[in-house]
A and B are shown apart, each in its own frame.
Chain A
Amino acid sequence: MLTQQPLLPLPTAPEPVAARPARRWQWRWPVGERVLIALVFPLGLLLLWALAARNEWVAPQILPSPATVLAALSELAQSGDLTRNALVSFWRVIDGFALGAVLGLLLGIGFGLSSLFRDYVYPLFKAIAQVPVLGWLPFLILLLGMEEALKVVLVAKAVMVPVAINTDQGIRSVPAQYLEVARIYGFSRWQLLTRVILPGALPGIWNGVRYGLTNAWLALVAVELLASSEGLGFLIVYGRQLYQLDVVLAAVVIIGGVGFVLDKLLSLIEQRLLRWRRDAF
């Protein structure tokens, strides 16, 4: 948009048809063309990959061909390894996410509503948040061992921090007028919280939830790479140890796919959840 127009466009006389028969071709971006043009780059990459593998520009141990990766993918799917490991990872994310989201929501509501609570707890919360998930990993391995609890706690930490921060900010951004109106109507504290503050803070809370889920997936893959004997992250380690790069790449594709589905799922829920905002106008 910025580059297609010439600087200072001046009206120009129509040029003679013979001199320049075709008008300069301009992009208009209908959907069909956009999809086509979006395919150019990935198809080019795929072609380059296939060529590189076919002509053995790089050793197949370092870059297996697309066909091998596809074969590995279907083999993993048929043997049930894929479903089993994906389910393990899935439940870990769900458990950790549920725990972290509830904790984060409670903390965020506390921070947002009570300055006393905030004064006491926020610095400690900030200090815990400041250390990334991977910083806590060795500490928690010593404390909890390599059991399921380790994964759930780490995923929960990854979710709790953004949910708490965004809930807090969401609550603080609720316009003071809303609170005044609620007070005039004689809302009880509970009504004020559930009818005014939480709906008003919902966009902020939702932001935190989305960010938290992305974080959860990131943290889980990291933990599974480091300390696990099941799950999609472990599948990568396993493939790497056996020098089966096709398995590694297949697992990478699956991990990307799951991330994509999670993201899409959340944006669908978001459309439903925040529908009232549009209905108002």
Chain B
Amino acid sequence: MTTPPRYLHPAAIPPALRGWVLPVLIVFLWWAGYASGRITSPLFVSPGKVVDSALELIRTGTLWQQLGASLARDLAGFAAGALAGLTLGVLLGLSRLAENIFNPTLNAFKQVSIFAWVPLISLWFGLGDLAKVAFIGLAAFWPAFINTLSGVRGVPKELVEVARVLGFGRLQLVRRVILPAALPAIFSGIYLALIYAWLATLGSEYLLTAGVGIGNLLTDGQEQFRMDNVLLGVILVGLIGFGFTALAGGLERYLTRWQRR
């Protein structure tokens, strides 16, 4: 068996560049397929066409309008849902009575796939922004609530006892002991809430079709067989998701910096 030349071995490429190999290869094959002229499907657009459509949408301002609308919706729903989840999680975490009354029911509701609520929400709130924000809020609520509850439940008993001995008031106990101790769990909830809120933003724009947004860019592109706009939408959706996760990661590192001291 002949060994391939050394520079072709996968380990020969510096690690920082390795991640780029597959994406570059895919884009190259994509471009090569276009340049060969063999693929005649109207759905097969060239990489350049996608860039052109992006520039066109930027020039006319449509892109910013759609991005802005989607982001505003997403953040409004996320804020409402995460805040509700956080509050309810802390309350149920602090009181056995409240937990025993509400948690079994909430657990049952949790099992309903969130998208199943869309038709009801559309009947109750219409097809506009109110319905969308309500739906996004519902999607963000569950992870925030579940993780906060388990975080508060998981606060070590000793910490609470120390706070008692020091004569902390209830508000002090929550603010100084319980919230900081539950913060890592709360943050995994916030992460998930961000991801779910973004998924729900797309879902709400697909299903509650009134208005503009990135979701409408995608569905319109699909209906008009504009693969360039669809691909642009996919890329944007990924970038925004990435941005949100990065932002949440930064915030978490900032808020939990006391843990590393």
A residues near B (Cβ < 8 Å) are 1-5, 7-8, 27, 29, 34, 37-38, 40-42, 45, 61-62, 116, 119-124, 127, 130-139, 141-143, 217-218, 220-222, 225-226, 233, 236-237, 239-240, 245, 248-249, 251-252, 255-257, 259-260, 263
Contact = CB atoms under 8 A, between A and B. Distances in A.
B31 interface: no
A245 B96 CA distance: 36
Contacts of A116: 10-11, 18
Contact of A138 (B26, B173, B221, B238): B221
Given A40-B101, A62-B123, 15 more contacts: A2-B160, A7-B167, A27-B97, A37-B100, A38-B100, A38-B103, A45-B105, A123-B19, A124-B23, A127-B23, A142-B222, A225-B116, A236-B116, A259-B113, A260-B108
B96 A131 contact: no
Interface string B182-209: 0000000000000100110011001100
Interface residues of B, number: 68
Contacts of B97: 27, 37
Interface string B146-190: 000000000000001000110111100100001000000000000
Q: Which of B15, B111, B203 has most A Cβ within 10 Å?
A: B111
Interface string B229-258: 011011001100110010000000000000
Contact of A221 (B115, B167, B215, B237): B115
Contacts of B231: 139
24 contacts: A2-B95, A3-B95, A29-B100, A42-B104, A45-B105, A62-B123, A120-B22, A122-B19, A130-B241, A130-B242, A130-B245, A131-B234, A131-B237, A132-B241, A136-B234, A138-B221, A142-B227, A218-B115, A222-B113, A226-B206, A226-B207, A236-B119, A245-B120, A256-B116
Mostly, the B contact residues are: helix
Q: Which of A27, A131, A136 has most B Cβ within 10 Å?
A: A131
Interface of B: 10-11, 15, 18-23, 26, 43, 94-97, 100-105, 108-109, 111-120, 122-124, 160, 164-165, 167-170, 173, 178, 195, 198-199, 202-203, 206-207, 215, 218-219, 221-222, 225, 227, 230-231, 233-234, 237-238, 241-242, 245
Given A124-B19, A132-B199, A240 B206 contact: no
Nearest to A9: B164
B238 A130 contact: yes
